[in-house]
Amino acid sequence: MDNRKIQVFLATIRLGSFNKAAEELHMTQSAVTQSMNHFEDELGFRVLNRTHNGIKLTPAGERILPYIKDADRALARIAIEAREIAGGNSLPIRIGAYNSIATSWIPAAVMGFKEKNPQVEFMVKVGTHNLLKDLVENQADLIMCDSDLVSGLDPKKYAWYPMMEDEYFAVVPKGLFPENTDEVSQERLMEETFIVAPFDTIHNHLEVKPKKVMSVASDDDASIASIVSHGMGVTMEPALCIKNLPENTRVMTVRPREIRILGIMIPRNAPVIVKEFAAFIREMNDQGRFSGQSGK
């Protein structure tokens, strides 16, 4: 029984669906189903009831679930200890980050750190809400995101290091507002159809709620900007995300001002080399060496 089957099993139970588990784990549904069939074959009994209402545990599955969870935690601990014993050099540092941070900050941070630590390798995973799960389940060594995403984590287990304020701006179709002004109120902006991704944390900041919302299931800021360019609505994007916008759009300052706080979240028991990398990133930030910095 390998760790991957355990991860698939726990995701399937938590989400109650092979489809949802496959989406979260970036697998095909058939691969998830096959993994669970092999899992049950190795155990010698069925642990999942497959019904039209979703996936549920059998009585045997209920009985064994606590032990599977214990095994998952133990394997995660082994990986951490092995990395610590090896000085962190035998395995890559796994970074989770928003796309805007991955393209603006991480290349410089990785290159700068490798100048002094050429033996260290890196893996970067770009995402949004899934980054939190990766950190908690030890699929990432640190994540770079906004404070809203990690606000629910236990501060005794995880350390949050704020780095910069990232101001939100309106992205609107040209011609929607007078060209002689570069500023729009939230109240006026929210009269238009507001286009946003389902897990966008902008919802936590708005003083005025939109009257009409178009939800776009995409982590790609360019997709939302493209919809805006066709006159289908407006959106708000942080400064770090505003790049290469379509021609038929313009950027406007929003009042009252809204910001997100970007930073690093890292487990307090992270390997030494991971803590050193996080400290290096913060030092680079203090020196103003990252593109797109708009202040602290």
- Assign residue 13 the CATH number of its domain: 1.10.10.10
Q: Give the containing element (helix H, strand E) for 171.
A: strand 158-173
Least confident of 85-89, 120-124, 203-207: 85-89
145 plus 172 within the same structural domain: no
Residues near 9 by Cβ (< 8 Å), separated by ≥ 6?
36, 39, 47, 68
Give the total number of structural domains in the chain: 3
- Residue 292: predicted pLDDT: 59
Q: Angle at CA 150, nearest 5°, toward 145 and 156?
A: 125
- Residue 296: predicted pLDDT: 30
Give a yes or no: residue 26 inside a domain.
Answer: yes
235-238 and 158-173 beta bridge pairing: antiparallel
Of 228 and 128, the one with more pLDDT: 228
- Residue 118: predicted pLDDT: 86
Residues near 244 by Cβ (< 8 Å), separated by ≥ 6?
222
Least confident of 40-44, 70-74, 170-174, 277-281: 70-74
Q: Is 165 within 8 Å of 241 (Cβ atoms)?
A: no
How many of the other CB atoms lie within 10 Å of CB of 89? 14
- Where does the pLDDT of residue 195 fall: very low under 50, low under 70, confident under 90, or very high at 90 and above? very high
- Which burial class, exposed, middle or buried, applies to 80 when counting CB atoms under 10 A from its CB (0-12, 13-18, 19+)? middle
Give a yes or no: residue 294 inside a domain.
Answer: no
Least confident of 55-59, 74-78, 176-180: 74-78
| CATH code (residue 113) | 3.40.190.10
Give a yes or no: residue 119 inside a domain.
Answer: yes
Half-sphere exposure of 156 (CA within 13 A, CB side): 0
**pLDDT tens column, 60-107:** 999 999 999 888 878 877 776 676 666 555 578 999 999 989 989 999
Residues near 191 by Cβ (< 8 Å), separated by ≥ 6?
211
126 plus 17 within the same structural domain: no
81 plus 7 within the same structural domain: yes
Least confident of 267-271, 274-278, 290-294: 290-294
Among the candidates 51, 69, 86, a domain finishes at 86
Does the pTM of the predicted model rise above 0.85?
Answer: no
116 plus 152 within the same structural domain: yes
44 plus 102 within the same structural domain: no
Give a yes or no: residue 16 inside a domain.
Answer: yes
User: Taking all residues of the chain, what is their mean pLDDT, rounded to a whole number?
Assistant: 88
Q: How many Å apart are CA 143 and CA 130, to the nearest integer? A: 11
Residues near 17 by Cβ (< 8 Å), separated by ≥ 6?
54, 55
